[in-house]
Structure 1
């Protein structure tokens, strides 16, 4: 088939907050020139004529995923034709990655490993399991002599759970956890960027069936919310790794920088923030900061990773660590700050941090109590 004529089709839903209606569209993506087209299913008319939209990547398009097209957050619910289903859906899998309490400090490394393996994190959170919850998770091992040890490991502290999506994700993630053999020469050793985790630090789903069951345990699709987050709401501040940084694969590097600087991550959750919530969260900047509208758009463009950081004077210390809002200024004045290292402009400046210490608790509560409630 002529590459210029390749077109992928999807069915996607968008919640219209004005009309309080769920609207369905056929979404067409043309990889040759990164253009998109949308067709209104109910009204049987073109909603968006074919338009180049470089912000959308083919890897973002999968059933269950969320994409942002010109400030509309769409939920992809199905493939739109057999060609797309066969081409994109045949190898696409979901799996669970779980970092045990003694592996949580490797979160940054894991996020980088996931990115390098061409997998995507589509859901993520930090939880502290009770003995009963951990026993339920490992129920198939309850007759084994090591059952209590497994449960003890899982309840010793917070764990991080990730939903990973990608081609043959189950086997890819399992292989990343296998210990690698010692390199035979210096050249090969230089190509190895990190040691795999191993079962002592992490858990991987054994099969597609196991993955589906384990993902439902942590990210239930029913009314049940699953294990609760670990937010402390005390001596804490809010950090948001913005959508552009997540999509560029920078989340792992940013998390590693935060941990290396001595900050303690006490809670974490991935959010897909809709425009209404983004406007509400940034309301304090409305009419004050010229970039307010663009900030709202950026926060609602895709998934962001929200962290609660805990410690004495953490709001002020983390604000200093982020640096000036403008990355160009940050690179001149404070080149080792997060925005200097990972930001591109005043809107896409990698991270949001609480500007005023008195607002820190409100921002943490907004995400971990209201949006994650």
Structure 2
């Protein structure tokens, strides 16, 4: 019998010929452009999303691929940038582009573009504004009169601000908005008046299309010209999105008057629709809106100051020291409140994984009233405080420790604003899963709050030691994941090779048994992984998660245990868990 041909979800494009052939496919083609030197690329977190959409659409008009920038001439201008970049092509032409491995945004764009390429909607060809003039501007990347005065540059961050028809029609209001932009140190790098039609409004506010207010929104946004601004600040534009949203204030003018009376919406807004101005809610939205309003926009260059450049030039790294060290993952804490954990647990966990976060610890915790009051001490004078305490103690919360580079800031951006998420960031996680005035998910806002919340939530943690044996070392990653999903925090880990002396000390309680020599020999014939774990009642829980020493027994009485799933025999039973009477000093010595 011939073997069934394996179905490939994403074609691998490794040269220009393959790239050209793939763009010739009918319908929508989605390409994850990556570079081999950028670590775990292409974007692995998207595979599940692509598989699900491929099955759902079951259409030859949807194709996926990965492309190596280094080996494809058409992607030359993307080399040297590690940021994930997804290209959407229809009929061989670029119709959309998304920077960043943001699964919800990519999914929405695929659904939108699939309709376009199926003939259900009009196709709009775009230019990658970030790179449109790269080849012409290339000499500007290092421009100087001599080598010693070279200044490095890169793309600045730009956000979109829109003065709505009610502001544009009033010269006094328009002038005051421009004054506020200048006073806050913002730079206008693009400025155009435009007349929108209904289709434009639908593209600008896709989340409003199926709502009751959409017709009113269309009527208002098409009632006169709008003024679209590209805004940046400083040398790099860093923080411009957040600054502009702070200047314009909360979405609802009445709320803005109460909370931020000096904001633009407080001064000039009259309703949730006629609220004077618009501001991009994220970097993804800013890129999309810039491409929509300014298809040929050329991003200004962010300049590294000469003084910094000189320090970089003078810097001589010590032997073995990296000039540009690899960024280290950061850990944050998030709490899915009881109601959201009950109703949306799996969907939220999927969003977290699709966004590229590693779940370092996952625990169901029923918080006490005392713990909640400690967590939210800064909110104790708020009107909603009692309701917050009641909701947080109504059942078990799902507490997660999430790891990723810049995890604290990135996770809070994914969540959206703590208040009025549905109006201000309707595509955010909080907006899509909210069911009351108390937002569904809490997130730490600083490294200090991460540590403070960890000490409050996991105050009863105890440490335990586990040793993954040589027979299961190749499955160590899966075993570690099993422990994390069981609620353990992995505080420390190290791969080690045991000497016979150390192995004999670890199993000194078995000395004299007929299998002792075999056990010592087995523990020294390969690599082990020693783990320091933390959890409530950690020793007792670890014994339970490990399961009976005999894997055959484990399969009967503890089918979800580590030994039931990873052990081969009583000798090769995957994991060693020290007894409570056993000294742990020897294990801690192994970690040093």
Q: Say yes or no: TM over 0.5.
A: no
Q: With CA pairs under 8 Å and 6+ residues apart, which has the higher RCO, 1 or 2?
A: 1
Q: TM-score, normalised by structure 2?
A: 0.28
TM-score for the superposition, normalised by structure 1: 0.40
| Structure with a larger share of its residues in strand | 1
Say which one has the larger Rg: 2
